[in-house]
Structure 1
Amino acid sequence: MKEVVETRYGAKYRELDSIAHLLDFINLRISKKREIKQLDLFGTVKFGYELDKADHYRMRDAQALMLKPEAFDLSGKIYSYACRTGLGIHADVHVSEDEDPPYEKSLAQLIANTARTSVWAFPRRSNYDQTYGNDSDREGLASARDKVSADAQAMKAYRRRLSDYQRRLVAHRKASNDANAQLPNEPPPTPPIKNAKAEDEALVRHANCRDEYAQSIGYPLDAEGAVRPVRAGDSPTGVPATLREYKPL
């Protein structure tokens, strides 16, 4: 992961071992005069979910109140893809119509108020099931591979024809002593029409990357990123199945 972040994307990679370290990392942006324009939080606000040190990683209200608004750009944004960050009550299955989902009491709203920055968060659980693609992507992968492979073979053949054409064109111009002469009755070869769409090429790149890492490190890391974004889960029902914006109050 460190190699991917630093080599492929030219970013800095930091490992933090507690929520306190994360808060320090954010608030130190003030002294470094590097205000945060966008902060994306993936996983869960418990961060160390089901780990031995889970309590050291969990962001609670008290920790959220330690955020300093000066660390964020005036037009900064925070995106939390954690479960139910945007819900102010503990609801596992359903929020009934007569029950007020107190969004204003949610952790997302508290972070927005403290950081003075808009926060986008899920009232529902978050779902990462399409990170490597959805059913349609997986079903279409074999066809996408065939199209990309066929395009590559067609381009390879075109380059061979073009190279041969250019070689004969140079010889013809030299023999005729005319730098602008063209081969008689023979137009230059035309490049092939691609069959694979951009979506096909992206699916193949993602899949190839995962396959390569699965062989080298034993885990299908996708250095291309997520095929599809995090989406809202199925529960609790009764609240929007989308990211909500929480503006500072």
Structure 2
Amino acid sequence: MATPDKKQGETSDQHATTQVKGTLAQDYVTVVGASYMSLYEKVRGQKGNKMRFINQGIRQLTKYPAGTPNFSVQRVFLVFKNDYPDNLLAALKDVVENQHGAQYREMDSISGVVDFIATRQRRGREIKQLDFFSHGVVGSIELGYELDKNDSYRLRDAQAQMFKPEAFAYGAKIYSYACRTGLGIDADFKVNEGEDPHYERSLAQILANSTQTTVWAFPRRSNYDTTYGTSAERESVPGIRKQASSDAQAMEAYRSQKTAYQRKLAAHRKQANDPTAQIPGEQAPQAPKPTITDEQRDLMAHDDSRAFYEKKVGFPLDALGAHRDVRSGNTPDGVPKQLCAYKPI
């Protein structure tokens, strides 16, 4: 089989959505897998890794069209709840519903997703876009990887074949950000030259055939390492805070100078009996220009959000979502290092 179509352009374009008026109400759905913490991560307190799927899911919500009051368009957030503490899920529900205007549902088996998709047509709705953020292995999206409920959380070919095309809108898209959804052989490190990756056997192709929808997936492992920004961006935050503090001090000084100048100007005009008089040899103070960029301000806002929820619920939930998209990992070599399109056949 030929190599699947490669997505051209920047990563941000891979998430782009286009609304096309249809006869049914439309859903934009994010599915977030459960995330276990290894003993090493627990000892080191690396809670950010546990939150990567959730925070990427929130980021995806922000890229969907806004929901409408009559629900002709709605955003939906489905989260597999195993091993996420109740207080975290409560905070997540509040963020999803009240800050992003999306429907929130907790899943406790893969049958919940199958049922959700199956009921779209009966409810007069159709799915315009479906995104998965989760662990994965060849042949399955592991929505409960390494957890007690991993078997009942797993999305494999049997479940994929239950997804019917009637549940999906014309021109709908499915994205999987799980590892190797687009690969048809169990290759860990390399697909050798001349070796057939069997894309036609991949879960991505099975999903495409079942739903008659184009599926975008990685033939390599996926990499969530820039969820909170690149290493350089994360390390730059303390310096950005110092710059922001200096900017705030400069602005405060400017306001004081401006107030003093305006009082002096008013007194001068009163004395001169001239409402247009200017103070000789003196000009109004100029507002200082900020030294931090919008991108730096955004990076700091994400950091603030995670810090707030870390203190509130014990985990770095980011109400703004991830700072950067999921990207392709390095292995297995020998297949495209990017999202690829799997079209129905």
Same-fold status (TM-score > 0.5)? yes
Which segment drifts farther, 180-189 or 129-138? 180-189
Look at both structures and tell me which one has the larger radius of gyration over its CA atoms: 1
**Unpaired segments ≥5 residues, structure 1:** none
1:7-54: per-residue Cα shift (whole Å, max 9, x none)? 221212110111111111123222233322221100131201111111
Secondary structure in 2 aligned to 1:93? coil
Mapped to 2, the partners of 1:67 and 1:105 lie a distance apart of: 17
Deviation at 1:243, TM superposition (A): 0.7
Cα 1:160–1:29 shift into 2, 3 Å = farther
Counterpart of 1:14 in structure 2 is 105
TM-score (norm 1): 0.90
Secondary structure in 2 aligned to 1:82? coil
Q: What amino acid sits opposite 1:209 in the alignment?
A: S
| Counterpart among 180, 187, 204 of residue 300 in structure 2 | 204
**Unpaired segments ≥5 residues, structure 2:** 1-91, 136-140
Counterpart of 2:279 in structure 1 is 184
Counterpart of 1:37 in structure 2 is 128
Mapped to 1, the partners of 2:94 and 2:277 lie a distance apart of: 51
Equivalent residue runs for 1:108-119 within 5 Å: 108-119=204-215
Asked whether 1:225 is paired with 2:302, we answer no
Mapped to 1, the partners of 2:171 and 2:183 lie a distance apart of: 24
Equivalent residue runs for 1:1-249 within 5 Å: 1-44=92-135, 45-166=141-262, 181=276, 183-185=278-280, 186-249=282-345
Mapped to 2, the partners of 1:98 and 1:239 lie a distance apart of: 11
Secondary structure in 2 aligned to 1:159? helix
TM-score (norm 2): 0.66
Whether the 8 Å contact between 2:142 and 2:155 is mirrored in structure 1 is yes
Whether the 8 Å contact between 1:172 and 1:181 is mirrored in structure 2 is no
Mapped to 1, the partners of 2:272 and 2:163 lie a distance apart of: 78
Deviation at 1:162, TM superposition (A): 3.5
Whether the 8 Å contact between 1:125 and 1:232 is mirrored in structure 2 is yes
Whether the 8 Å contact between 2:265 and 2:279 is mirrored in structure 1 is no
Mapped to 1, the partners of 2:273 and 2:126 lie a distance apart of: 66
Whether the 8 Å contact between 2:118 and 2:167 is mirrored in structure 1 is yes
1:141-179: per-residue Cα shift (whole Å, max 9, x none)? 22222222222222233333344445556666777777x
Secondary structure in 2 aligned to 1:129? coil
Q: What amino acid sits opposite 2:124 in the alignment?
A: K
Count of aligned residue pairs for this structure pair: 248
Secondary structure in 2 aligned to 1:13? strand
Secondary structure in 2 aligned to 1:14? strand
Mapped to 1, the partners of 2:269 and 2:335 lie a distance apart of: 74
* Structure with the larger strand share: 2
Deviation at 1:111, TM superposition (A): 0.8
CA RMSD for the aligned pairs?
Answer: 2.1
Mapped to 1, the partners of 2:102 and 2:265 lie a distance apart of: 48
Whether the 8 Å contact between 1:35 and 1:71 is mirrored in structure 2 is yes
User: Identity of paired residues, percent?
Assistant: 55
Deviation at 1:183, TM superposition (A): 4.0
